[in-house]
Amino acid sequence: MKHFSEEDLIAYQLHEGANEGEIRRHLEECVVCAAMSDAIAETLRVFSAEPVPAPDVERNWQWLRGNLTVLEAAPRRRFGLLRAGWVWGSAGLVAAALLVVVALFGVHVRRQVVPKPNYAINGRGPLTTRPADPAIANHLDAAERLLTEVNHASGPLDNTMRSQAHNLLLKNAVYVHTAHEQGDVAEAAVLDNLGRVLTTIDHTSDGESEHRTLQLRVEMNTDGLLLDLRILRQNGQVGQ
Amino acid sequence: MDKVETDAIRRVLTGDRDAYRVLMERYFHSVHRIAFRITGNQEDAEEAAQEAFLRAYNKLASFRQDSTFSTWITRIAMNTSFNLVERRSRDLSQHGPRIAEEASKAEGTIQFADEKAGPERLLLDQEAITLRHAALDSLTPMERTAFTLRHMEELPIAEIAVALNVTSNSAKQAVFRAVGKLRQCLAPVTGGQV
For residue B22, name the pLDDT band (cuts at 50, 70, 90).
very high
Q: State residue B187's pLDDT score.
A: 78
Upper half-sphere CA count for residue A123 (Cβ side, 13 Å): 11
Asked if the structure places residue A77 within a domain, the reply is no
* ipTM value greater than 0.95: no
Distance between CA atoms of residues A84 and A64, nearest Å:
33
Regions of chain A short of the pLDDT cut 50: 73-84, 113-131, 208-209, 238-240
Q: State residue A122's pLDDT score.
A: 41
CATH topology of domain B1-96: Rna Polymerase Sigma Factor; Chain: A (1.10.1740)
DSSP string, B117-170: S-HHHHHHSHHHHHHHHHHHHTS-HHHHHHHIIIIIS---HHHHHHHHTS-HHH
Contact B20 A68 (CB under 8 A): yes
Q: Using a cut of 0.90, tell me whether the model's pTM lies above it.
A: no
Distance of CA B109 to the CA centre of its chain: 24
A57 and A89 both lie in a single domain: no
Distance between CA atoms of residues A170 and A143, nearest Å:
12
CATH of the domain at A129: 1.20.120
Positive or negative, the CA dihedral B125, B130, B136, B138 is negative
Report the gap between the CA of B95 and the closest CA in chain A (Å). Answer: 26
Residues 48-67 of B with CB under 8 A from A: 49-50, 53-54, 57-58, 61-62
A134 and A190 both lie in a single domain: yes
Q: Which of A217, A205, A226 is nearest to A97 (CA)?
A: A217
Chain A residues bordering chain B (beta-carbon distance below 8 Å): 6-7, 10-11, 13-14, 16, 39-40, 42-44, 46-49, 52-55, 57, 60-61, 63-65, 67-73, 124, 227, 234, 237-238
* Sequence-separated (6 or more) residues with CB below 8 Å from residue B66: none
Give the number of domains in chain A: 2
B45 inside 8 A of chain A by CB: yes
Q: Is the pLDDT of residue B25 over 90?
A: yes
The parent domain of residue A15 ranges over 1-65
A120 and A233 both lie in a single domain: yes
DSSP-assigned beta bridge partners for residue B110: B99
A88 and A26 both lie in a single domain: no
Q: Which residue has the higher pLDDT, B135 or A94?
A: B135
A12 contacts on B by Cβ (under 8 Å) = none
Q: Is the pLDDT of residue B162 over 70?
A: yes
Distance between CA atoms of residues B193 and A37, nearest Å:
11
Q: State residue A82's pLDDT score.
A: 46
Mutation target to probe the A interface, by most A beta carbons within 10 A, among B11, B14, B17, B51 is: B17
A227 contacts on B by Cβ (under 8 Å) = 15
Stretch B134-144: mean pLDDT, rounded? 91
- The class level of CATH for B98-194 reads mainly alpha
Residues 83-122 of B with CB under 8 A from A: none
Q: State residue A113's pLDDT score.
A: 45
